[in-house]
Amino acid sequence: MHQLSTIELLPPEKEYLGVVGFPIKHSLSPVFQNAALREMAKGNPSFESWEYLRIEVKPEELPELLKICRDRGFRGLNLTLPHKVEVLELLDEIDPVAAKMGAVNTVSFQNNKTIGSNTDGYGLSKGIETTLGMSLKDRPILLMGAGGAARAACVQCLEEGCSHLWIGNRSKDRLDALLEDLLASYSPDRMEGFLTGDEIPDVPGDTLLIQSTSLGLKPEDPLPVTEELLAKIEGLYDLVYGKEPTRLVRTARSMGKLAADGLTMLVHQGAKSLSIWTGEEVPVDVMLDAVKLKL
């Protein structure tokens, strides 16, 4: 694992990428990104010198890290908690969708510029398509959560043309802030918010439930929605992932619903970042196999 001080000491002959967070010890990104680079090197030996690092820096160290990585010729970085929002003011350019999401998870260094984009929404969409066979377009969506992941997910659903979006959250403040930001870019006819514990919205039977609260990480966590709500929907995508499917995914499956956890989102967001940095198609299957093996 690298810190600010060790980045400066890296041997110059390699091409570097990395994931930056605090803490970062448990990130799976180096596992599947390096697996992809090794696979890509079989067809193109120039990728033999590419390496994806794990980098731990505190928020106050992020400006210095970006400067060192740009000057040192890094190809790009992924950002994770707590850097996705703070990085916005450190960039030369921001992709318009990332600006609507209010978060950046991918930084590219090009022509001495630092450019931000967000591949989380793409990862979510591809994850849903590949595991549930569902498209966000024309789909009624009920999304639980109003944190960082929910923000990217809501923008992706609205950008891809979901037919309606219900957003549920525990705390009113965060829900209201999210709705206010979305209403700056999208029509109020397309969305409505509700508080967890309030009456469940009357959603149609083809609704996709996207679970983006942090509930489910611990086995003792309560279900983020009631079984009454699960009974109403067609499919569930739970952003939370781990060695085993979450309790919510298991419950939904036991009720005969299509349900998947967020591992495919993780891999597809990383695959999109890697394709931005390399300009090439990347071996998503190899990445998914590598992460499953690690788990």
Q: What residue ranges bind ligand NAP (CB under 6 A)?
A: 120, 123, 145-150, 169-171, 174, 212-215, 217, 239-241, 262, 265-266, 269
Q: What's the closest the beta carbon of residue 225 comes to ligand NAP, in angstroms? A: 10
> Which residue's CB is nearer to ligand NAP, number 45 or number 197?
197
Q: Cα separations (Å) of 94 from 72, 116, 117, 227, 235?
A: 21, 5, 6, 40, 33
What values do phi and psi take at 79, rounded to 5? Answer: -120, 140
Residue 25 among the catalytic residues: no
> Which residue's CB is nearer to ligand NAP, number 153 or number 203?
153
* Chain position whose Cβ is nearest to ligand NAP: 147
Tokens read off for 186 = 């999208």
> Which residue's CB is nearer to ligand NAP, number 81 or number 255?
81
Q: What's the closest the beta carbon of residue 266 comes to ligand NAP, in angstroms? A: 4
Secondary structure element (H or E) that encloses residue 228, with its range: helix 227-232
SS3 state of residue 144: strand
Q: What's the closest the beta carbon of residue 172 comes to ligand NAP, in angstroms? A: 8
Q: What's the closest the beta carbon of residue 267 comes to ligand NAP, in angstroms? A: 8
What values do phi and psi take at 217, rounded to 5? Answer: -65, -40
Q: Any residues with CB less than 8 A from the CB of 44 and at least 6 apart, and which?
A: 280
The shares of helix, strand and coil residues in the chain, as percent rounded to the nearest 5, are 45, 20, 35
Q: For the chain, how many residues are written?
A: 295
Q: What radius of gyration do the chain's Cα atoms show?
A: 19
What are the beta bridge partners of residue 238? 211, 261
Q: Which one from 25, 42, 67, 84 is the annotated catalytic residue?
A: 84
Q: What's the closest the beta carbon of residue 46 comes to ligand NAP, in angstroms? A: 29
**Active-site positions?**
84
